[in-house]
Structure 1
Amino acid sequence: MSTVKAVIFDFDGTISTLRAGWEEVMIPFMQESIAGGRALTEAEEARLRAEVESYVDQSTGIQTVFQMQWLAETVRRYGWNNEVMDQWQYKAEYNRLLMEKVERRLQLLESGELERENFLIKGSEQLLDRLRQADIALYVASGTDHPDVEREAKALGVYRYFAGIHGAPLRQAECPKEKIISDLLGSGATAAEQMAVIGDGKVEITLAKASGAAAYGLASDELRREGINPVKEARLLAAGADWIAGDFLNLEEWLGRLGLIDL
């Protein structure tokens, strides 16, 4: 490909692992919200778990409020729980539960008890550094709330690399990934063939493919921070990723894919 002028990164699972394990919070939260106080049979529990796990897997990367909108609709559809909240209430409660885990990690990071490298996908900072040296405009687009993405990028020491960080706007159901792609193309400063999107979710890959940008999947193993996660790899392949890696350790391969060097 020709040398890119702009690269859009997803954040969680692509650069940062501060929120690794979010599925372990969301899935039981959704199951409990749907079941309410009902004592489920073994068959009911298995059916519910399968539906929730399938939805969480295929919705990875979208704005959290849309996941919570699905939850509200599903609580109504099952009819097991008489207390149905709206998507914003569900989102607030889910965020509260998730941030208990994330906040502990941030405190260890900000206190210096853990190094920021413990929460960065391996090779990510080296790639960001090389791209900035090449005067390529870098952006973050995330379904996580905007203030949280900014705080976490600063805590990890990568905030300085980005021309713009775009998280989910508070109390607005707007997809920041779709918006940043549309804004960059609409401005005329960047053509589709000069743009690359890198992420571990099908949302950003699908949007990149639809826009004509290069779509690179990051099938990260968030515990090891390197290597391929086969579940993510299958998801990214199904979304049509142009190429898939598990980390950024092969710097030359990434620079070649982005048109900075000849492979």
Structure 2
Amino acid sequence: MHTIKAVLFDFDGTISTLRAGWEEVMRPFMKESITGLHALSMEQEAALNQEIDAYIDHSTGIQTIYQMKWLAHTVHEKGWNERVLSEWEYKAEYNRRLLERVTDRIGKLRKGELQPEDFLIRGAAEFVRELHRRGVELYVASGTDHPDVVQEAEVLGLASFFNEIAGAPVGRAECSKEKVLRELIETKGLTGEELAVIGDGKVEIQLGKEAGGLALGLASNEELREGMNPVKERRLRTAGADWISGDFGNPQAWFERLGV
């Protein structure tokens, strides 16, 4: 029986939808970087599309720099584009494109044209607040750059409820999720039974399981912000999630799972 004292949340797609649609930015960016000006046959194009889609699905939840490392390797390996950049250069350009969309959303939130609820998974804010009220320590770990995660948690009105928010360190390739979990176990003396991980990607689910913690999957439909996404559900099941829900609209079921 788990007696949960600390919960580690993934952020994007688990709590926030500010970055929803990142795949729609990454997919064409990867394709154009790999092909350059090279004209592909229909078979080559279909195979490349499939390869990119499979990689994005496989890598959801990891730090962006590792995805860009794959991109740099693939550009070099295919040899269609003579211009091969470093993973950091690819990351800078991908971030620039993605942040155009995110910055616009944050601007509308700051002006009051949109509300935090427009970018939160159903029931997420209430769930976080209630866990905090019940004395559970709350942490965020994300593959998104640290300053960006902090800003996005603040603009959604949730930053104050977390003991720590850990994004990817700028300019360094480190797994923030692994680091936070390790620190919780080593410095706070928590056992696996006292830890829960909640996320929509297989990375955090697998890390939670490895730590002996409770791994709860959030198979969110980011477009609707509620209900189950079957693709995520399959991914989370394969990763070994102990339980899966589509949103936080059923808080009692979550509290029962956590034993709080």
The alignment's TM-score, normalised by the length of structure 2, stands at 0.99
2:223 & 2:188 partners in 1: Cα distance?
39
* Letter of the 1:160 counterpart: S
The answer for the alignment partner of 2:10 in structure 1 is: 10
Residue 78 (str. 1) matches residue 78 (str. 2): yes
1:188 & 1:25 partners in 2: Cα distance?
39
2:110 & 2:41 partners in 1: Cα distance?
45
SS for the counterpart of 1:16 is coil
Note the alpha carbon deviations across 1:202-225, whole angstroms, 9 max, x for none: 000011111101000000000111
1:235 & 1:117 partners in 2: Cα distance?
26
Give 1:189 shift. 2.7
Note the alpha carbon deviations across 1:99-142, whole angstroms, 9 max, x for none: 11111111111110011100000111111111111111100000
The answer for the alignment partner of 2:256 in structure 1 is: 256
* Letter of the 1:227 counterpart: G
TM alignment of 1:1-263, pairs within 5 A = 1-260=1-260
2:7 & 2:63 partners in 1: Cα distance?
20
1:188 & 1:114 partners in 2: Cα distance?
38
Give 1:188 shift. 4.4
2:88 & 2:139 partners in 1: Cα distance?
27
SS for the counterpart of 2:17 is coil
Give 1:3 shift. 2.6
1:93 & 1:22 partners in 2: Cα distance?
13
Q: Is the 8 A contact 2:9 2:139 kept in 1?
A: yes
Q: Which deviates more from structure 2 when the two are superposed, residues 51-60 or residues 180-189? A: 180-189
* Letter of the 1:46 counterpart: A
* Letter of the 2:149 counterpart: V
2:183 & 2:41 partners in 1: Cα distance?
50
The alignment's TM-score, normalised by the length of structure 1, stands at 0.98
Note the alpha carbon deviations across 1:66-123, whole angstroms, 9 max, x for none: 0000000000110000000000000000000001111111111111001110000011
Q: Is the 8 A contact 2:2 2:214 kept in 1?
A: no
Runs of 5+ consecutive residues of structure 2 not aligned to the other structure = none
| Superposition CA RMSD, Å | 0.7
* Letter of the 1:100 counterpart: E
* Letter of the 2:226 counterpart: E
* Letter of the 2:172 counterpart: Q
Aligned length: 260
Q: Which deviates more from structure 2 when the two are superposed, residues 180-189 or residues 89-98? A: 180-189
Runs of 5+ consecutive residues of structure 1 not aligned to the other structure = none
* Letter of the 1:202 counterpart: K
1:58 & 1:107 partners in 2: Cα distance?
32
Residues 53 and 249 of structure 1: is their aligned pair in 2 closer, same or farther, counting only changes over 3 Å? same
* Letter of the 1:132 counterpart: H
SS for the counterpart of 1:82 is coil
1:179 & 1:26 partners in 2: Cα distance?
26
Note the alpha carbon deviations across 1:21-79, whole angstroms, 9 max, x for none: 00000011001000010011111100100000000001000000000000000001100
Identity %: 57
SS for the counterpart of 2:94 is helix
Q: Which deviates more from structure 2 when the two are superposed, residues 166-175 or residues 183-192? A: 183-192
1:154 & 1:202 partners in 2: Cα distance?
26
Give 1:2 shift. 3.1
